[in-house]
């Protein structure tokens, strides 16, 4: 399939987003533009992933739309630098910590000055020169001086908050800005009244309320920044795996070059203990390689001339020379990083509900806050009471927790998957995987090792076993098919003379028709015999016996008569039985699909515990088999090698490719398992279930928090004799809600099967 040349997908880093209302506003604006196919903005990664048609809209125009909303699109980085990323994150954390501690230093004395004179029974020491009753102006001016550095520390809430109101896309900062501004303006007015002689106005100052709110929110933002850094640790580890330099052979001279300068075709030397720089093929040497950082497979892999090496893997024993075949963004590691970044930048369908609500949430909260304040004024309460209600609603209703609930869990979940060798290409796949109730397994190379061996050679008069093998050897010689390789291996071991092949015709799903020594020869299954009207009734008992033993019987016919049967067996993978047992415990139905004879397939299915068998299925019909199950209402996953099974993988709700992460596998599947272990299918589904469960927990608490918090802040409990929510406690609750969501998401880092 040729890629759509009219479509481009880019990721734009965006500065200035503080809550889900921000990301939703940008999404709404971009998705309305002609030429933008889909825009997805992720708050946790601070990244916009945009699919667009460059013939209809330019990248500069997309950036202009983001800027008009009050946000800053940053330079698109094509190659991430882990050191720069770490430095940037560390700088951001240090800035947040500085602002927080600065606000703490001034808020503590501010709070003491404001509250100590009012709490008579504790008899806190307090200088007479600052007494609110005797020296109210001094008392008021000191509070005003103490609150100003706190406001400066939280100035971003005001600059961003009011700017977003101006751009008609209010966000979390807008709520904080208006709420604390109301407290500050009223307090400044009280200072003016005191200076004018109204000393009773000293009771109407709320400098400490604004200061404590800003400090608590800065605490939440600081913890949030630290937690966000932890959510992206997995991708940082992947980026940091690549070595900085490599030894390249230039004639007879060894030259140390930066990895970026290696070109395809260069001969690279890897010494014991060294890292493989780029992907390539060994041309000289023998070694064992640790590929655990790419595949999750803990056991080192033996490598010899002709075998592939993957960048970032570790050479354990021997010195090898290899020719670079993939460099830069084409290496397996680069592709893995790209997949993980795309998955973390995309959005799960479950997130859309939260995003839609968050997008309309802030304006609705403004209305609720104003109406509640007015309602209390009309009911006879004073301006102070109404102001408390107004501020508390604005502060407690921030939708940060809603905006972080899904992307943080997705980031941690997909990052954990990458560590385990389970690459999830999109959030949709991660979400759908938890609903899977039926899994179809391809047999060869998936349930089995894919390397069958010849177990039986049965000849029928007038032919001998050696003649049967020699015909089959001649037909299959040069073929890459696993069954052909088994026959070739047997022929080589038996020193079989290869007969000259005069004609050759491969019949997909049936077998091969050929001419050898002037004779018509057929090698294949019963369908092939039927197609050429070959009588085989006499040999059916032998055929059935071989099939019932779990072997694949191949019929050989010469000049229109059956000459023999060759039986081959494909050995089950060591973890196949265990994986199927675990899937059954997860209440998932298992199906095996194969082109093998029914009895052969049933025998293998019985050994591994498969529920149902779809046998004698042609390669092109696998997708139709998946479709039939989907039409019956099943949520179907297809597990295959990602090459032969590409149509079926694409048809399934979730396509899972088992293998070493080849290009075709990555293109056709939704989930790529980097090692050929069926237990990773279980891991992928279990990880999906754990991630979605985590998201639902986050969304539940985020929604419940707002559903309960807003009425309490509006004075619902006060109506029935309960307390009125103090804006300070509202700020603490808002900050902790975001931190609790992030902490819950980080629990996924300890996921184990």
b vs e for 539-565, b when ≥16 Cβ sit within 10 Å of the residue's Cβ?
beebbebbbeebbbbbbbbbeeebbbb
**In terms of DSSP H, where are the helices of 444-498?**
465-476, 482-493
669: closest CA among 684, 694, 647?
Answer: 647
Q: Is residue 1 part of a domain?
A: no
Are 577 and 442 in the same domain? yes
Are 356 and 384 in the same domain? yes
Are 354 and 464 in the same domain? no
Structure-token pair, residue 452: 């069958």
Q: How many CB atoms lie within 10 A of CB 315?
A: 24
Q: How many CB atoms lie within 10 A of CB 143?
A: 26
> 454 with 491: CB under 8 angstroms?
no
Are 65 and 98 in the same domain? no
Q: How many CB atoms lie within 10 A of CB 359?
A: 22
Domain boundary among 285, 300, 326: 326
Say which residues have a Cβ less than 8 Å from residue 271's Cβ, sequence separation at least 6: 247, 315, 319
Query: What is the rounded distance in angstroms from the CA atom of residue 346 to the CA atom of residue 50?
Result: 10
The 8-class DSSP code of residue 461 comes to T
Q: Is residue 2 part of a domain?
A: no
Q: Is residue 489 part of a domain?
A: yes
Active site (catalytic) residues? 442
Instruction: Give 337-340 contacts, CB < 8 A, sequence gap 24+.
Output: 337/80, 337/235, 337/238, 337/239, 339/423, 339/424, 339/425, 339/666, 339/672, 340/234, 340/235, 340/238, 340/414, 340/415, 340/418, 340/423
Domain boundary among 70, 93, 110: 70
> 57 with 34: CB under 8 angstroms?
yes
Are 145 and 118 in the same domain? yes
Q: Is residue 236 part of a domain?
A: no
Are 649 and 697 in the same domain? no
pLDDT computed for residue 229 by the predictor: 62
CATH of the domain at 63: 3.30.70.100
Query: What is the rounded distance in angstroms from the CA atom of residue 637 to the CA atom of residue 647?
Result: 13
Are 442 and 577 in the same domain? yes
Q: Is residue 237 part of a domain?
A: no
Kind of pairing between the strands at 654-658 and 636-640: parallel
Q: Is residue 94 part of a domain?
A: yes
What DSSP string describes 484-519? HHHHHHHHHHTTPPPPPEEEEEEETTTEEEEEETTE
Q: What is the dihedral of CA 106, 107, 109, 113, to 10 degrees?
A: 130
Query: What is the rounded distance in angstroms from the CA atom of residue 306 to the CA atom of residue 731?
Result: 64
Q: Is residue 563 part of a domain?
A: yes
Residue 715, by phi and psi: left (phi above 0), alpha (psi -120 to 50) or beta?
left
Query: What is the rounded distance in angstroms from the CA atom of residue 212 to the CA atom of residue 224?
Result: 18
Query: What is the rounded distance in angstroms from the CA atom of residue 738 to the CA atom of residue 402?
Result: 8
Cβ burial of 171 (10 Å; 0-12, 13-18, 19+) is buried
Are 580 and 476 in the same domain? no
> 411 with 537: CB under 8 angstroms?
no
Are 37 and 102 in the same domain? no
601: closest CA among 646, 645, 652, 549?
Answer: 549
Instruction: Give 111-116 contacts, CB < 8 A, sequence gap 24+.
Output: 111/208, 111/211, 111/212, 113/139, 113/142, 113/143, 113/146, 113/208, 114/143, 114/205, 114/207, 114/208, 115/208
565: closest CA among 444, 490, 469?
Answer: 469
pLDDT computed for residue 661 by the predictor: 41
Structure-token pair, residue 738: 């975001």
CATH of the domain at 620: 3.40.50.1000
Q: How many CB atoms lie within 10 A of CB 657?
A: 30
CATH of the domain at 247: 2.70.150.10
Strand, helix or coil for residue 255: strand
- List per-block mean pLDDT (blocks of 10 residues) for the chain, which spans 753 residues: 62 81 84 89 80 89 89 71 65 88 91 70 62 79 91 88 79 76 81 83 76 79 68 61 84 86 90 88 88 61 85 85 87 72 60 63 83 92 84 72 71 81 79 91 79 88 92 86 85 89 82 90 92 90 86 91 90 85 94 81 86 81 86 90 69 81 58 82 92 86 79 87 76 70 82 74
User: What residue numbers bound the domain in which 737 lies?
Assistant: 333-420+681-753
Domain boundary among 326, 348, 381: 326
Q: Which residue has the tokens 């963004």?
A: 329
Query: What is the rounded distance in angstroms from the CA atom of residue 126 to the CA atom of residue 117?
Result: 7
Are 463 and 564 in the same domain? yes
Query: What is the rounded distance in angstroms from the CA atom of residue 603 to the CA atom of residue 191?
Result: 89
Are 650 and 735 in the same domain? no
Query: What is the rounded distance in angstroms from the CA atom of residue 682 to the CA atom of residue 686?
Result: 6
Are 65 and 140 in the same domain? no
Q: Which residue has the tokens 């009771």?
A: 203
Q: Is residue 3 part of a domain?
A: no
pLDDT computed for residue 356 by the predictor: 64
Q: Whole-model pTM above 0.75?
A: no
Number of separate domains in the chain: 6
């Amino acid at each position: 399939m040729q890629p759509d040349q009219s479509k481009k997908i880019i990721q734009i880093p965006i500065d200035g987003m503080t809550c889900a209302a921000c990301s939703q506003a940008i999404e709404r604006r971009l998705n309305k533009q002609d030429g933008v196919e889909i825009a997805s903005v992720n708050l946790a990664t601070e990244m916009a992933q945009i699919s667009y048609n460059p013939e209809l809209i330019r990248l500069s125009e997309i950036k202009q739309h983001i800027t008009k909303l009050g946000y800053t699109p940053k330079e698109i980085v094509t190659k991430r630098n882990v050191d720069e990323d770490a430095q940037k994150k560390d700088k951001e954390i240090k800035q947040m910590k500085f602002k927080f501690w600065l606000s703490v230093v001034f808020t503590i004395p501010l709070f003491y000055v404001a509250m100590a004179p009012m709490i008579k029974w504790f008899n806190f020491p307090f200088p007479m020169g600052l007494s609110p009753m005797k020296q109210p102006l001094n008392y008021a001016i000191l509070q005003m001086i103490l609150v100003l550095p706190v406001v400066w520390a939280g100035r971003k809430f005001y600059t961003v908050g009011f700017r977003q109101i101006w751009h008609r896309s209010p966000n979390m900062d807008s709520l904080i800005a208006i709420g604390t501004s109301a407290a500050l303006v009223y307090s400044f007015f009280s200072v003016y009244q005191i200076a004018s002689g109204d000393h009773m106005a000293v009771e109407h100052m709320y400098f400490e309320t604004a200061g404590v709110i800003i400090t608590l929110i800065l605490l939440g933002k600081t913890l949030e920044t630290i937690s966000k850094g932890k959510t992206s640790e997995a991708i940082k580890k992947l980026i940091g795996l690549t070595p900085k330099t490599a030894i390249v052979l230039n004639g007879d001279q060894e030259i140390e070059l930066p990895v970026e300068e290696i070109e395809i075709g260069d001969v690279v030397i890897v010494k014991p203990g060294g890292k493989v720089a780029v992907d390539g093929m060994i041309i000289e040497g023998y070694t064992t390689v640790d590929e655990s950082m790419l595949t999750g497979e803990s056991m080192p892999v033996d490598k010899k001339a002709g075998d592939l090496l993957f960048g970032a893997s570790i050479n354990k024993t021997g010195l090898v020379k290899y020719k670079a075949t993939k460099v830069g963004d084409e290496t397996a590691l680069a592709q893995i990083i790209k997949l993980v970044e795309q998955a973390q930048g995309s959005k799960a369908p479950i997130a859309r509900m939260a995003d839609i609500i968050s997008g309309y949430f802030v304006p609705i909260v403004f209305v609720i806050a104003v109406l509640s304040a007015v309602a209390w004024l009309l009911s006879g309460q004073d301006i102070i009471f109404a102001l408390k209600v107004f501020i508390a609603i604005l502060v407690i209703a921030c939708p940060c927790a809603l905006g972080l609930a899904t992307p943080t869990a997705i980031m941690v979940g997909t990052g954990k998957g990458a560590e385990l060798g389970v690459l999830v290409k999109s959030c949709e796949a991660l979400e759908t995987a938890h609903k899977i109730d039926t899994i179809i397994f391809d047999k060869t190379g998936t349930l089995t090792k894919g390397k069958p061996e010849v177990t039986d050679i049965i000849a029928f008069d007038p032919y001998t076993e050696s003649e049967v093998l020699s015909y089959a050897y001649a037909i299959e010689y040069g073929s890459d098919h696993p069954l052909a390789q088994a026959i070739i291996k047997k022929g080589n071991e038996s020193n079989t003379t290869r007969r000259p092949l005069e004609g050759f015709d491969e019949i997909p799903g049936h077998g091969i028709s050929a001419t050898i020594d002037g004779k018509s020869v057929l090698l294949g299954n019963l369908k092939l015999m039927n197609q050429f009207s070959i009588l085989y009734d006499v040999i059916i008992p032998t055929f059935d016996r071989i099939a019932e033993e779990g072997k694949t019987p191949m019929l050989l016919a010469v000049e229109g008569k059956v000459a023999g049967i060759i039986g081959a067996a494909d050995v089950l993978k060591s973890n196949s039985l265990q994986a199927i047992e675990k899937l059954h415990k997860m209440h998932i139905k298992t199906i095996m699909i194969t082109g093998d004879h029914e009895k052969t397939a049933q025998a293998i299915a019985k050994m591994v515990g498969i529920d149902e068998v779809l046998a004698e299925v042609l390669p092109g019909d696998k997708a139709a088999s998946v479709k039939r199950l989907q039409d019956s209402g099943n949520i179907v996953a297809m597990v295959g090698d990602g090459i032969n099974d590409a149509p079926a993988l694409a048809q399934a709700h979730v396509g899972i490719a088992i293998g070493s992460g080849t290009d075709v596998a990555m293109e056709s599947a939704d989930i790529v398992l980097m090692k050929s272990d069926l237990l990773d299918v279980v891991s992928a589904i279990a990880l999906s279930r754990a991630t979605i469960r985590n998201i639902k927990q986050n969304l539940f608490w985020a929604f419940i928090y707002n559903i309960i918090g807003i009425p309490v802040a509006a004075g619902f409990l006060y109506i029935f004799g309960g307390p009125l929510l103090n804006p300070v406690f509202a700020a603490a609750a808002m900050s902790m809600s975001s931190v609790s969501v992030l902490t819950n998401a980080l629990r996924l880092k300890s996921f184990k099967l």
